[in-house]
Amino acid sequence: MTTPSPYGAPRPQEPAISGVLVIDKPAGMTSHDVVAAVRRMLRIRQIGHFGTLDPFATGVLPLSIGKATRFAQFYLKSRKAYAGVIRFGFSTDTYDATGKPTSEAVQGQPERESLERLFQELTGRISQAPPPFSAKRVNGERAYALARRQQAVELQPVEVEIYALELLGLEGQEARFAVECSGGTYVRSLAHDAGRRLDIPAHLAALRRTAVAEFTESQSTTLDDLQRSADKGEPPATFIALESLLPECPALVVRGNEERSVRHGHSFELAHSLRADRGLRPDQPAPAISVLKVLGADRKLIAVARHVVGNVYHPDLVLV
């Protein structure tokens, strides 16, 4: 059975393209809304995303297409970067501008020096309580569902890492900032906690994600541009192929019997000439490469292999 292709040729059930599209998500849409829209445009069902972005936020939302959906395990906890605005003066139940005020409005505003000092204190590994309106589960139910019913929500703090937190500007009660953080970090909680620590209630007024792992704004496309390409029967202009994913991982080319063995999911031994131990003294242990991208003779990605022991690797993810 075939389905019509937006590029003019019949399409089999398996998507003819596999890779990543970086969408510049507009405000007001959920990540699921974006996935649904792109499925309709490209007429491809097998589409997912690498990390949810709140509806009011904008920016980088990497969508996985075809075989790339199997790479979610490598990206869901990836490093992320954001630019945003904290508004001091009142707090909200969602910790952002979409929520209901939970404090009386005050006219106080932080001093620049106090805010910069606080940002330094919040940099590094910190314990952070997720917002009551979040997708965390409480006794099997989403926290936001309980919060909407005005039921008490108690979420345990989790450890996250803030790699960098910079104050970009302070105008009245609004502070512009940039942050790089680990996956699982709630920037809304950062804004709320900043207000609590400075004794001036605050919430996150605006948020834009500028990067997820290796995916950045410069690689993104808007839904409108994607629709125009689909209407013309053209492939997405900014499509990222499978071979370009996980750029920090070394690539190994296999041929013949080795290629057939990897395609069948068999473990293999990395040749001595390919090990990352050149330049070490004989008594030094060779550092193992934890993850390898395995390419076939045609230089197409066929597997992602993890280190097992010694020189032995196992293809955990086989793309055939």
The answer on pLDDT for 64 being more than 50 is yes
Q: Are 57 and 207 in contact (CB under 8 A)?
A: yes
Q: Average pLDDT, stretch 47-72?
A: 95
Q: What is the pLDDT of residue 281?
A: 53
Q: Average pLDDT, stretch 152-181?
A: 92
**In-domain check, residue 209:** no
Distance CA 53, CA 84 (A): 13
The overall average pLDDT reported for the chain is: 87
pLDDT digits (tens, 9 = 90+) for 109-120: 899 999 999 999
My answer on whether 118 and 52 are in the same domain is no
Residues with a known catalytic role = 54
My answer on whether 226 and 279 are in the same domain is no
**In-domain check, residue 101:** yes
My answer on whether 84 and 70 are in the same domain is no
The reported pTM is 0.85
My answer on whether 118 and 197 are in the same domain is yes
**In-domain check, residue 180:** yes
The three state secondary structure string of the chain is CEECCCCCCCEECCCCCCEEEEEEECCCCCHHHHHHHHHHHHCCCCEEECCCCCCCCEEEEEEEEHHHHHHHHHHCCCCEEEEEEEEECCCECCCECCCCECCCCCCCCCCHHHHHHHHHHCCEEEEECCCCCCCCEECCEEHHHHHHCCCCCCCCCEEEEEEEEEEEEEECCEEEEEEEECCCCCHHHHHHHHHHHHCCCEEEEEEEEEEECCEEHHHEECHHHHHHHHHCCCCCCCCEEHHHCCCCCCEEECCHHHHHHHHCCCCEECCHHHCCCCCCCCCCCCCCCCEEEEECCCCCEEEEEEEEECCEEEEEEECC
Closest CA to 307 of 283, 291, 286: 291
Among the ranges given (23-37, 101-115, 130-144, 276-290), the one the predictor scored with the smallest mean pLDDT: 276-290
Q: What is the pLDDT of residue 142?
A: 63
The answer on pLDDT for 280 being more than 50 is no
Among the ranges given (36-50, 228-242, 272-286, 305-319), the one the predictor scored with the smallest mean pLDDT: 272-286
**Across 200-214, 221-235, 277-291, which has the greatest mean pLDDT?**
200-214
Which domain does 180 fall in, by range? 80-204
Q: What is the pLDDT of residue 283?
A: 56
pLDDT digits (tens, 9 = 90+) for 168-179: 999 999 999 999
My answer on whether 93 and 200 are in the same domain is yes
**In-domain check, residue 314:** yes
Q: How confident is the model at residue 21 (pLDDT cuts 50, 70, 90)?
A: very high
**In-domain check, residue 299:** yes
CB atoms within 10 A of CB 75: 21
My answer on whether 54 and 93 are in the same domain is no
Q: What is the pLDDT of residue 188?
A: 95
CATH number, domain containing residue 96: 3.30.2350.10
